[in-house]
Chain A
Amino acid sequence: MNEKLVSLRYRYWPDHLLGEILSKRWTETAIPVIVLIAVAIVFSRAIPGFLTPASLADTARQAGEIGFVVLGMSLVIIVGGIDLSVGSMFALTDFCALFCLDILNWPVAAVILVTLAVGGLLGLVNGILIGYFRLRAFITTLITLIVYRAGYDLLILDYSNQIAAAFPDLPSWNFMGGGDLFGVPSVALVYAAVAIFGHVFLTRLRPGWHITAIGGSRRSAYNSGIPVRRTIAQCYLASGVLTAVGALFFAARLGTVGGDIGVGLEVTVLTAAILGGISLGGGKGSVAKALVGTLIVLLITNGLTTLSAPGGVNRMVLAGILLLAAMIDIRWVKNRYRIISKVYVSPTYHAMPPVPSTAADSGTAFALNDRLREVSEIGLGRIEAPEDVILDREDNLYAGSRHGDIIRFFPPDYERMEVYAHIGGQPLGMAFDRRDNLYVCIGGMGLYRITPERKVEKATDETNRSLRSVNDDSRLRLADDLDIADDGRVFFSEATVRYEMHEWPVDGLEARGNGRIVCYDPNANTTRTVLRGLKFPNGVCVAGDGQSILFAETWGCTVKRYWFAGPKTGKVELVLDNLPGYPDNINLASDGNYWLALVGMRCPALDLAWRMPGFRRRMAKRLPIDEWLFPNINTGCVIKFNEQGQVLESLWDLGGVNHPMITSMREHRGHLYLGGIQNNRIGRYKLPGADPDFVQYDVRWGRRA
């Protein structure tokens, strides 16, 4: 009864979502957004009409002006610097715009261009000094702050009266200052356009990634060939231009050159950036954060002004919120990964019937024997981690290696070897198609294809994104094994969508159906997920009818059958249940039956633990990872079964001297070739009574003429 409740609770309560939501990048912005909402609620309660369209439009106008400056500052902070001179640049570009308009009487378009150019120039000075001459950003922009401000003060001494006396009445200029489209202020429209571009730029374009990379680690960025100096200089230049944009709108709105314009602006802008969660030191930040920070600062200052609070209160509130937000944000960023690592692993209930006996005298098909003791070794010490082995029609033997290569051994004795192709990731399952292309599942990379000319091509590394998944499951994380249907479609298993390849034991600890079967159609070049929610699907083999595949679920200890064609299309049927071990690859046997590797044997402790999700959760939270309970993969065997689900025989090696572990096997010309992901050799076993002319791909694709 109690266990029934546990099983229901773990079936319907999505424990895994919390960890997946927390590991989303956007949750980094969660705290600033919550602060923004809280601020908005507090002020809308305290001030009637605080959130009316008119008031919002006014806020938006100021937000736009400061927002541009914050964007520039954010860019500079992300690249690992700081720009204190924005206030003075703001004042100077404001002066420049009004000087060109009021005194030189230039057309608006020219004014805009010249002002932007001046802003860029001022920023470029910073950029050259900091980017190319490697001066410290803080002290350099501090000095330019003083220099620019002094320049501005000297200039307005001569021209402020003339500018104050001029009243330019140009429709386009007025539109910039006070116009709107459908109630949205002009500045907000421009800001939105720039912000959207900025977002795409930072997250999707190469230069944006360069900026983040430099901020994250300048040295690594330099060593990987990114033009560090130029990029940094460009960021300061962009900061100058963006400041000029803000100043242009400010000039159009107010048209003044007072002595205190831009004084202390750098503090406001810095406050906005840090409130938004852009961390000083670089490498982290986004346009959304800059926007949120700007809005918080403006809502607070405007709200307090409306409440006619004295300037001191204004300062205290702003400072208090800055400190509080910085404190929470720093704690959050610092501990987020710790929290995620604690909550990400979410075990579920997984009950299995009592394990069938494998005792030597049990009389079952699993009875222990020593038939594999006579296995001979191929490539001993010369190959590492051959998860799968395969033979082509010319009797060449192929195996993957941990170094990211496909190794080829030459017949007849398989002593001579060569690197057949270098791929770069660890090759797992392999299969030849009709045209002798070798399809390989690469852990962490996806499905690749090696043509007979040894050209490595990517077949696919993504599938359709499922709507209900929080994790982005479009990328293939752990493509495991594959087989190819008669029409050329490739069916391959992806063992888990929640973990990377080296974390596969953790997926076993969860025992949730995290895996799936994916179909790649080379004719249409499409990839679709066909089955989800499988418990570590592993081996895949097209069945004798050509309309279905057999696949093994490692943690489910089952072999199932999925019809992709014919009358039963889409149906899934159980073939083997309650295996005594964890099934791995499945392959064709010469007598029409199937070979199945059991990579490890079940043990009562893990079977019991799988029925106690709470226990496993506590284990994952409280113990270091190397003390967790993991599935055993020390010993295993090869079994043969038929399509009716009967196990016919099993091949064991109790000593495990010649071939310690088994993840895969291929029958070829009367021999069984064995692969093991932790081995440094390939095993070769002479099958008594097997067809000495059996070649898998002659059977599958027909003998070549």
Chain B
Amino acid sequence: MKRPRLTQQNIVFAIFVALFAVFSIFLRGFLSADNMLTLLQNVAVLGILGLGMAVVVIGRGIDISLIASLAVPPGLVLEMVQSGHSLPAALGAALALTLAFGLINGWLVAYAEVPSLFTTLASGLFLAGLGQVAFFQLDVVQWSPALDRLAWLGQGGLAGIPTPVLMFALASAAVALFLRTTRLGGFIYAIGDNPYGARVTGIPTRPVIVLQYVLAALIGAFAGMVMAASVNSMPTRIFNSTLIYDVILVVVLGGIGLSGGRGGVVNVVIGTLLIGTMLNGMTILDVSYSGQNLVKGLVLLVAILTDSFVNPRNEETAQQGDI
């Protein structure tokens, strides 16, 4: 029998369980079915974004531009439909934009060899600026009735489970299948583990890296559609928020190391659940937004500190350029 090891993933899971238990015992209404669904619904979009981030992080990259992919292409759909274009045309334009964005990101990282942090930092800024200048009249793009054919993405539910949660589950299943069963998924792990080794063994590393960013952009845009459908609008100023940091935390806390090649969809789910539980519990406790951030940050700090004690790194094992 394998002894469960104290990996970061397990530590975070333990914290989640402990937190969940404490909240269930001491918070009235926390453990109700309604609240559980609300909890999940609130973090579903974050979870989907986490999946996109996970694909890139497993391949030893990072995608800061996810929020731009979340805001701009879905915003474009809403805006185009609002101004009288047909739904397929709007979807097509948004899809083309998303693909182009992912391809450019990937090309810059894989072929121009710009570090992913900078590529996506800049390209995210660029896309957000482009949206502001060229696409949107107002900061919040409204959901127009012509789009109701897509409302199932975020509205309603199935057997009492809200759609965003279902969408998260669906996306998780799809990404898990892709990562674990397809050859390309295996390539991503190989590249994340050792890019040079992967290249030497004949894996087309550069195209696969491009694919990672295209996938991330598509997942980001999907999350954006789910969000737009569930809140009936697209607040494009979301780009200015610290949402991207939450996404990174979900991924890293779940146990997907930033040095790549480790972790999977399970880790994203665990990370999402932890964040969701914390936020939900604090909302019930009526902690202010800043207070929630403070507590969230401190809990995360404790999590990675514990990890550093349980799995210490030193000057010999640390990887160069590993930030």
Residues of A within 8 A of B (CB): 80-82, 129, 133-140, 142-147, 149-151, 153-154, 157, 217-219, 221-223, 228, 263-264, 267, 270-271, 274, 280-282, 310-316, 318-320, 322-323, 326-327, 330-331, 334
Let me know if A137 and B323 touch, CB within 8 A.
yes
Contact B245 A145 (CB under 8 A): yes
Q: Which of A129, A217, A319 interacts with B125 by CB under 8 Å?
A: A319
Shortest Cβ distance from residue B261 to the other chain A in the assembled complex, whole angstroms: 15
| Chain A residues closer than 8 Å to B292, beta-carbon distance | 150
Q: Given known contacts A135-B304, A218-B318, A312-B130, is B297 in contact with A323 (CB within 8 Å)? A: no
B191 CB within 8 Å of chain A: no
B321 touching A263, Cβ below 8 Å: no
CA distance A147 to B292 in the complex (A): 10
Assembly CA distance A326 to B121 (angstroms): 12
Contacts of A311 in B (CB 8 A): 129, 132
Given contacts A133-B309, A319-B129, 7 further A-B contacts (CB under 8 A): A135-B304, A145-B245, A147-B293, A154-B294, A270-B118, A271-B121, A316-B126
Least CB distance, A425 to chain B, in whole angstroms = 30
> A134 near B318 (CB under 8 angstroms)?
yes
- Smallest CB–CB gap between B170 and chain A, Å? 29
Interface residues in B73-124 (C-beta closer than 8 Å to A):
108, 112-115, 117-119, 121-124
- Beyond A219-B315, A219-B318, whether A267 also contacts B125 by CB under 8 A is yes
Tell me whether A80 and B126 are in contact (CB under 8 A): no
Q: List 22 A-B contacts (CB under 8 A).
A: A135-B305, A136-B323, A139-B252, A143-B297, A146-B242, A149-B290, A150-B290, A150-B293, A153-B290, A157-B290, A218-B315, A219-B316, A219-B320, A222-B315, A267-B125, A280-B118, A280-B323, A311-B132, A315-B129, A319-B124, A323-B123, A326-B114
Minimum Cβ distance to chain A for residue B40 (Å): 23
Once the chains bind, are A330 and B113 in contact (CB under 8 Å)? Answer: yes
B126 pairs with A134, CB closer than 8 A: no
A264 pairs with B304, CB closer than 8 A: no
Which B residue sits closest to A142, measured CB to CB?
A: B245
Contact, CB under 8 Å: A323 / B304 = no
Task: Find chain B residues with CB under 8 A from A80 CB.
Answer: 320-321, 323
Interface centre among B121, B126, B134, B323 (most CB of A within 10 A): B323
- Is A280 a contact of B117 with CB atoms below 8 Å? yes
Assess whether B286 is interfacial by the CB under 8 Å rule: no
Least CB distance from A501 to B in Å reads: 30
Q: Which residues from A are CB-within-8-Å of B293?
A: 146-147, 149-150, 153
Residue on A with the closest CB to B115?
A280
B240 interface residue per 8 A CB criterion: yes
Contact B245 A129, beta carbon cutoff 8 Å: no
Chain B hits for A320, CB < 8 A = 122, 126
Is the pair B305, A129 in contact by a Cβ cutoff of 8 Å? yes
A192 to B305, CA, bound (A): 39
Q: Report the minimal beta-carbon distance from B298 to chain A, rounded to whole angstroms.
A: 6
A-facing residues in B116-148 (Cβ within 8 Å): 117-119, 121-126, 128-134
Chain A residues lying within 8 Å of B117, measured Cβ to Cβ, are 280
CA distance A438 to B134 in the complex (A): 79
B160 within 8 Å of A (CB atoms): no
Query: How distant is the Cα of A133 from the Cα of B118 in the complex, in angstroms?
Result: 27
Residues on A with beta carbons closer than 8 Å to the beta carbon of B134: 312
Question: B288 an interface residue at 8 Å Cβ cutoff?
Answer: yes
Q: Mark B236-262, 1 if CB is under 8 A from A, else 0.
A: 000010100100110010000010000
Which one, A134, A142, A147, A270, contacts B314 given CB within 8 A?
A134
Closest residue of B by beta carbon distance from A146: B297
B300 at interface, CB cutoff 8 A: yes
Per DSSP, are chain A's interface residues mostly helix, strand or loop, or mixed?
Answer: helix
Beta-carbon contact of A133 and B132 below 8 Å: no
The reply to whether B132 and A274 form a contact with Cβ atoms under 8 Å apart is: no
Q: A134-B313, A137-B323 are in contact. Are A143 and B300 (CB under 8 A)?
A: yes
A153 to B301, CA, bound (A): 19
- Look across to chain A and name the residue whose beta carbon is closest to the beta carbon of B252: A139
Task: Pick the 4 closest A-B CB pairs, nearest first.
Answer: A312-B132, A315-B129, A147-B297, A281-B321
Task: Give the nearest-CB partner of B295 in chain A.
Answer: A150
- Give the docked Cα–Cα distance between A138 and B288 (Å): 26
Q: Which residue of B lies closest to A315 (CB)?
A: B129
B320 and A150 form a contact (CB under 8 A): no
- Asked if A139 and B314 sit within 8 Å, CB to CB, the answer is no
Neighbouring A residues of B323 by C-beta, 8 Å:
80-82, 136-138, 280-281
The distance from the CB of B71 to the nearest CB of chain A, in whole angstroms, is 12
B197 near A: Cβ within 8 Å? Answer: no
Chain B residue contacts of A154, Cβ below 8 A: 288, 290-291, 294
Contacts of A150 in B (CB 8 A): 290-294, 297
Instruction: Specify which chain A residues have a CB less than 8 angstroms from the CB of B128 in the assembled complex.
Output: 312, 315
The minimal Cβ–Cβ distance linking B13 to chain A, given in whole angstroms, is 18
> Are A142 and B291 in touch, CB under 8 angstroms?
no
Is the beta-carbon distance between A312 and B131 smaller than 8 angstroms?
yes
Known: A219-B316, A282-B321, A330-B114. Is A143-B301 also a contact (CB below 8 A)? yes
A140, A150, A151, A320 — which one has the most chain B CB atoms within 10 A of its CB? A150
Given contacts A139-B258, A312-B132, contact A323 B122 (CB under 8 A): yes
Q: How far is the CA of A263 from the CA of B245 in the complex (A)?
A: 13
Q: What is the distance, in angstroms, from B153's C-beta to the closest C-beta of chain A?
A: 27
Interface members, chain B 210-228 (any A CB < 8 Å): none
Does B312 reach chain A (CB closer than 8 Å)?
yes
- Which of B123, B129, B245 touches A146 (beta carbons < 8 Å)? B245
A331 — which chain B residues lie within 8 A by C-beta? Answer: 112
Which of B113, B130, B248, B308 has the largest count of A CB atoms less than 10 A from its CB? B308
B206 on interface, CB distance cutoff 8 Å: no
Smallest CB gap from A76: residue in B = B323
- Are B129 and A313 in contact, CB atoms less than 8 angstroms apart? yes
CB distance from B62 to the nearest CB of A (A): 8
* A133-B249 in contact (CB<8A): no
When distances are taken between beta carbons in the complex, the residues of chain A under 8 Å from B125 are 267, 315-316, 318-319, 322
| B113–A334 touching, CB < 8 Å | yes
B299 (CB) vs chain A CBs: closest residue: A143
Complex-state Cα separation, A143 to B117, whole angstroms: 17
Complex: chain A residue closest to B315, CB-CB: A222
B residues in contact with A310, CB < 8 Å: 132-133
Closest to A151 in B: B294
Q: Is the CB of A133 within 8 A of B290?
A: no
Inter-chain contact A218/B108, CB cutoff 8 Å: no
Instruction: Give the residues in chain A near B290, CB-CB below 8 Å.
Output: 149-151, 153-154, 157
CB distance from A341 to the nearest CB of B (A): 20
> Is the pair B322, A327 in contact by a Cβ cutoff of 8 Å?
no
Would A314 and B320 be within 8 Å (CB), given that A134-B313, A322-B122, A327-B108 are in contact? no
Bound-complex Cα distance A133 to B311 (A): 11
A151: B residues at CB distance < 8 A: 290, 294
Q: What chain A residues lie within 8 Å of B313 (beta carbons)? A: 134
A525 to B123 CA separation, bound complex (whole angstroms): 60
Chain A residues positioned under 8 Å from B314 (CB to CB): 134
Q: Evaluate contact between B312 and A315: CB separation under 8 angstroms.
A: no
Set of chain A residues within 8 Å of B315, measured between Cβ atoms: 218-219, 221-223, 228
**CB-CB < 8 A to B316: which residues of A?**
219, 222
Is A313 in contact with B321, judged by CB distance below 8 angstroms? no
With the chains together, A252 CA to B302 CA distance in Å? 36
Q: Would B301 and A316 count as touching, CB distance under 8 A?
A: no
- A-side contacts of B112, CB under 8 Å: 327, 330-331
Structural contact, A327 and B114, CB atoms closer than 8 A: yes
Measured between beta carbons, the chain B residues less than 8 angstroms from A319 are 122-126, 129
Q: Which residue in chain B gives the minimum CB-CB distance to A314? A: B129
- Residues of chain A with a CB closer than 8 A to B119's CB: 323, 326
Give the shortest distance, in Å, between A143 (CB) and chain B (any CB). 5
| A-chain residues with CB within 8 Å of residue B252 when the two chains form the complex | 139
Q: How far is the CA of A462 from the CA of B95 in the complex (A)?
A: 66
Q: Which chain A positions have C-beta within 8 A of B289? A: 153
Q: Are A326 and B118 in contact (CB under 8 A)?
A: yes
> Who on chain B is nearest to A133 by CB?
B308
**Would you call A315 and B242 a contact (CB within 8 A)?**
no
Chain A: CB-nearest residue to B239: A315
Look across to chain B and name the residue whose beta carbon is closest to the beta carbon of A222. Answer: B315
